[in-house]
Amino acid sequence: MSRTSRTTLRRSRTALIAAGALVAAAAGSAAAAAPFGASAAAAAGCTVDYKIQNQWNGGLTAAVSVTNTGDAISTWQLEWSFAGGEKVSQGWNATVTQSGAAVTAKNLSYNGTLASGASASFGFNATGNGNSAVPATFKLNGVACNGATGPTDPPDPTDPPTDPPAGSRANNPYEGAKVYVNPEWSAKAAAEPGGTRVSNQPTGVWLDRIAAIEGANGGMGLRDHLDAALTQKGSGELVVQLVIYNLPGRDCSALASNGELGPTEIDRYKTEYIDPIAAILGDAKYAGLRIVTTVEIDSLPNLVTNAGGRPTATPACDVMKANGNYQKGVGYALNKLGDAPNVYNYIDAGHHGWIGWDDNFGATADIFKVAATTEGATVNDVHGFITNTANYGATTEDHFSIDDSVNGTSVRQSKWVDWNRYTDEQSYAQAFRQKLVSVGFNSDIGMLIDTSRNGWGGANRPTGPGATTSVDTYVDGGRYDRRIHLGNWCNQAGAGLGERPKAAPAAGIDAYVWMKPPGESDGASKEIPNEEGKGFDRMCDPTYGGNVRNGNNPSGALPDAPLSGKWFSAQFQELMKNAHPAL
C-alpha cells in the first residue's frame, strides 16, 4: 500500500477548508494614545492577514499575521470582534483572550518588537457553528487598520460534519520542507567557541522520560517545541523530529542509557508516556506540521543479538525477550502515534556494525514485522526506518568495498569488516530496506541515516586506499571510520560532524538527519548518582579494556563525560574540529 494512502486509512471524513482573506490597512497618524509600545507621536498602521485555515461544524482554526506599517513598536495588541458567536478555546504565539464578542491578542515575550514593515504571526482555535467569517475591522495598539475585508468561502450545508484537516500527506516528509531547529540545543551550540557555524542545524528532540513531555527541570516540553515549530514554519512546510525513547527495561545491553521504567511496566509506558504524547500530536493546532518520530532506538535488535543464548546475551535482554514488552511497546507506539495523519513513524534499525551480519540481518527484519503488527499496529503505521541513530558508522566508505579482495583475500575477512556484508551505513540502509519490503513492509518505505557524528574528518582522514600488503592494511589504511572496533559506541574520540541534514540524498534514503544532537553525551565516563535511571557503562570509561561485544578492545571513549543526554563541551569541540565536510 502506498504511503500516500495513509490518510484515507485513518480518517473517515473529508475536511472543509475555508479560504483566507487579506485585510489591507493604510498607514496614518495615531492621535489616540498607544499604550502597547508606540509613542504618542508615532505614525501607526497595519495590515492583517486573517486566514480561516480549517472550519467544521463546531469549530475553526485560524492563522493571523499582523504587519506593522507604521513606526517601530516594542509591544503590540491586536483587537477584533466576532459576529457569529465564536468562542476562543486556545491560542499560540500570542495571549488570546475574549470578553463577549471582543477578542484581544497580545504579544508574548519573544515577539513583541515590530520594526516598520515587520510581522508577527499567531493562531487560535475557537468553537463555532461552521459559518465563521473574517472579522470586519481590526485595531493594532488602539489604532484602526482600515480597509476592506475579503469574504471566506461559505460552507456547503449539505456536507457532513468534518474533522479539522491534516494537510497533505508527503511520500517523503523532508522534501520541500524546512526542519525544526531546537532552540535549547541551538543555544548551547551557539555558546561554544565556533558553535554558531552549526547552531542553526536541525536536531532531534528526545523524549527520554515521562517528565520530558511537560518539560523536565524547567526545560521545554513537547507542546513548547511544537509551538516554537509553528513559529519557525511560516508559510512553508516544516518537519519536527522527535525521538520516542522510554521502553520498559530500556537498553537491556547497555547501562549508560537505562530508563525509568522497569521491565514489566508496560502499562505505565502506554498510559503515562505514549498516550499523552499521542494526545498532543493529535491536537488540530499542530496538523500543519510534519512530525517525524524515531521509535525506540536500540531496542528490538537487542532481542536478536543480545538474548537467547548468543555469546553477547545479557540477563536483562533475556528478560525482555521473554516478556515481549519491547514488541508490545513499539507496536503500541506505532499504533497510537500513527493515528495522527501528519505523523511519520520511523523505527530504529540499528546500524551496519550491529545488524549487517547474516545471522542478524533477516532475524531483525522479522522481529520488526512482529512489532509492527502487535498492539493494533499495522505496517501502514510505519513510514520508514532510521539507521545509525547516535552512532558513528561512516555514511559511505569510498576507498574499499565489500567486493574487493587483496592477494586473493576478501575484504570480508579483514579484522575490521569481520565477515559483515556491509562496509558503511548507506549500503546497509539501502539493502535492509529491500529486506524489510520482502518480509511485508510497504514497498515505498524510506530510510533515514543519522549523520550527526560520523564525519571522521580532520588530519587523520584517509585520502586514498590503504597499502595492499594485506587485506587488513588495505582496509585499515583506507577506512574513514577510525574507531578501534565497530562495537564501540560511547563518546568516541576522533569523531566529527558528518553530512549536514539534507533531503533525498540517495536512492531509498529519505534524508540525512542529525537525530542525535551533537554535543550531548552518550554516557558518563564514571558512575554519577542521578534520578533519571541512568547507570554507568564501562564502555564509556576510557580506561576500559572491552568485552565480547567489542572484541575485547579498548572503549575509545573520551574522558570526563557527563550523564547521557547532558551537554559535553569537549565532545562538541572535537566534533567540530573533525567535521567532514569541514566547517
- Please say whether the beta carbons of 20 and 65 come within 8 A: no
The residue count for the chain: 583
State how far the alpha carbon of 444 is from the alpha carbons of 380, 433, 434, 507, in Å. Answer: 11, 9, 10, 11
Instruction: Please give, one letter per residue, the 3-state secondary structure of 243-291.
Output: EECCCCCCCCCCCCCCCCCCCCCHHHHHHHHHHHHHHHHCCHHHCCCEE
- Please say whether the beta carbons of 449 and 174 come within 8 A: no
Residue that the C-alpha cell 533477516 belongs to: 362
State how far the alpha carbon of 98 is from the alpha carbons of 88, 142, 393, 433, 447, in Å. Answer: 7, 16, 55, 52, 46
- Please say whether the beta carbons of 158 and 32 come within 8 A: no
State how far the alpha carbon of 15 is from the alpha carbons of 97, 145, 160, 161, 256, in Å. Answer: 27, 32, 9, 9, 46
Task: For Cα atoms 341, 280, 377, give the angle at the middle one, nearest 5 degrees.
Answer: 50
Catalytically active residues, by annotation: 298, 522
SS3 438: helix
Q: Which helix (H) or strand (E) holds 138?
A: strand 138-140
Pairing of strands 143-145, 138-140: antiparallel
Question: How big is the chain by its Cα radius of gyration, in Å?
Answer: 26
Among residues 106, 134, 142, the alpha carbon closest in space to that of 24 is found at: 134
Take residue 573 and report the three cell numbers written for it: 569541540
